[in-house]
Amino acid sequence: MKLIRKRKLSDHQNRRIKTQQQSNIELSSQSLARGLVVTHYGRQFEVKLTELPEVAMIQPDPIAGEPESFWLEPAIGEIWRCHARTNLEPVATGDEIRLSLDPNTGQGTIEAILPRRSAVMRPDRYHNLKPVAVNLDLMLIVYAPLPVPSSELIDRYLVIAKVSELTPVLVLNKSDLIEEDQQARGWLDDYESLGFQTLITSASGDLSELEALIKGQTVVFLGQSGVGKSSLINTLEPLAAQRINQISDNSDLGQHTTTTSRLIDFNQGALIDSPGVREYGVWHLKPEQIDLGFPEISEIAQHCRFRNCSHAKEPGCAVKAAVTAGEILERRLLSYEKLRAEAVAF
């Protein structure tokens, strides 16, 4: 049997193909609409039309004696079901795209992804990098007293926010339950003193502070399943009608109510609901990128005796000294070491 070897394209070839694709888009752009990806189900996308094709689409006159054929008139603001061309990289919620429309079937085809201003990426279990949501301004990292939070997961999100050049905001939701668990509350103070923005909310309470913070921006809600991401979104925008977990005893049963990211228009910006996660791998990152989420550690590390100090057993380690002196939290150093090791390993 003959082995088929995948041919690697040279940089030059890649550039030429890109230019070619670009000019194809420009050539046909008059007949393409523009849209915003609202959500996706497997290979199907829901796209909101934001610009109609320059060349008007005209319904043909019905043939005499025949019944009028199906025709869906494209209109700005309407949602069209679409497939994506298979040569495109994975399309994500929040993507601005060019699409062709077929009014005879009411289906669209995503022809090109417009440049993204930001992207939150996550490796799947096969180590393929997938976009969670794109074209974002703000990342809300939501946690709650219940389900039992993980500070390591919070640390991972902070790294992802910094790598994606997004402002993270740590949101402690279910404020009505805080009394029972002071640890979650203590963490919020910890992160605030590290310079991160924080907020306490209750999905059934007054969300005006959150509302003011996110006005006009595209905001993704991330966090464990059951922390109340969809509930917060429904309170902010009741029209969103996002399904929420009906089990209200706040145990962490009945996980993963939201199964796909969805964009909801809100106050001159947008909210993006996302499915809860149990873990968030950082294999795809470089060890130096982990430092971005740990400003307090990377700053003090400059004073370690050895430039490549791993803050383990080396003499003259300023980080270890700072942990002993109570200036760096031990749990933060443990997260840092774990994430660095994960980033190195891949």
Ligand X SMILES: Nc1nc2c(ncn2[C@@H]2O[C@H](COP(=O)(O)OP(=O)(O)OP(=O)(O)O)[C@@H](O)[C@H]2O)c(=O)[nH]1
Q: Which of 37, 38, 219, 227 forms a contact with ligand X (CB under 6 A)?
A: 227
**Cβ of residue 167: shortest distance to ligand X, in angstroms?**
21
Of 272 and 282, which has the nearer Cβ to Mg ion? 272
Q: How many residues bind ligand X (CB under 6 A)?
A: 25
Q: Interacting stretch for ligand X, rule CB under 6 A, among 57-65, 85-93, 94-102, 247-255?
A: 247-255
* Interacting partner of 176 out of Mg ion, Zn ion, ligand X, none (Cβ under 5 to 8 A depending on kind): ligand X
Helix axes 151-163, 182-193, angle to 10 degrees: 30
Closest listed residue to residue 229, CA positions, set 160, 130, 147: 147
**Cβ of residue 154: shortest distance to Mg ion, in angstroms?**
18
Helix axes 151-163, 330-345, angle to 10 degrees: 60
252 binding ligand X? (CB under 6 A): no
Site string for ligand X, 201-220 (x = CB under 6 A): -xxx----------------
* Interacting partner of 304 out of ligand X, Mg ion, Zn ion, none (Cβ under 5 to 8 A depending on kind): Zn ion
d(CA 163, CA 285) in angstroms, rounded, equals 9
Closest listed residue to residue 203, CA positions, set 224, 242, 233, 178: 233
The site for Mg ion (CB under 5 A) is made up of: 229-230, 257-258
Q: Which of 72, 177, 178, 207 forms a contact with ligand X (CB under 6 A)?
A: 177
d(CA 47, CA 185) in angstroms, rounded, equals 39
Q: How many residues bind Zn ion (CB under 5 A)?
A: 5
* Interacting partner of 18 out of Mg ion, Zn ion, ligand X, none (Cβ under 5 to 8 A depending on kind): none
* Interacting partner of 248 out of Mg ion, ligand X, Zn ion, none (Cβ under 5 to 8 A depending on kind): ligand X
Q: Which of residues 303-342 bind Zn ion (CB under 5 A)?
A: 304, 309, 311, 317, 319
CA 233 → CA 20, 145, 336, distances in Å?
42, 19, 31
Length of the chain: 346
**Cβ of residue 202: shortest distance to ligand X, in angstroms?**
4
Closest listed residue to residue 246, CA positions, set 236, 237, 234: 234
* Interacting partner of 173 out of Zn ion, Mg ion, ligand X, none (Cβ under 5 to 8 A depending on kind): ligand X
* Interacting partner of 228 out of Mg ion, ligand X, Zn ion, none (Cβ under 5 to 8 A depending on kind): ligand X
Q: Which of residues 276-305 bind ligand X (CB under 6 A)?
A: 276
Other C-beta atoms within 10 Å of 134: how many?
A: 24
**Cβ of residue 229: shortest distance to Mg ion, in angstroms?**
5
Q: What is the dihedral of CA 73, 77, 79, 82, to 10 degrees?
A: 80
> Three-class SS of residue 240?
helix
d(CA 318, CA 168) in angstroms, rounded, equals 27
φ, ψ (nearest 5 deg) of residue 292: -60, -30
Interface ranges with ligand X (CB under 6 A)? 173-174, 176-177, 202-204, 225-231, 244-245, 247-248, 250, 255-258, 275-276
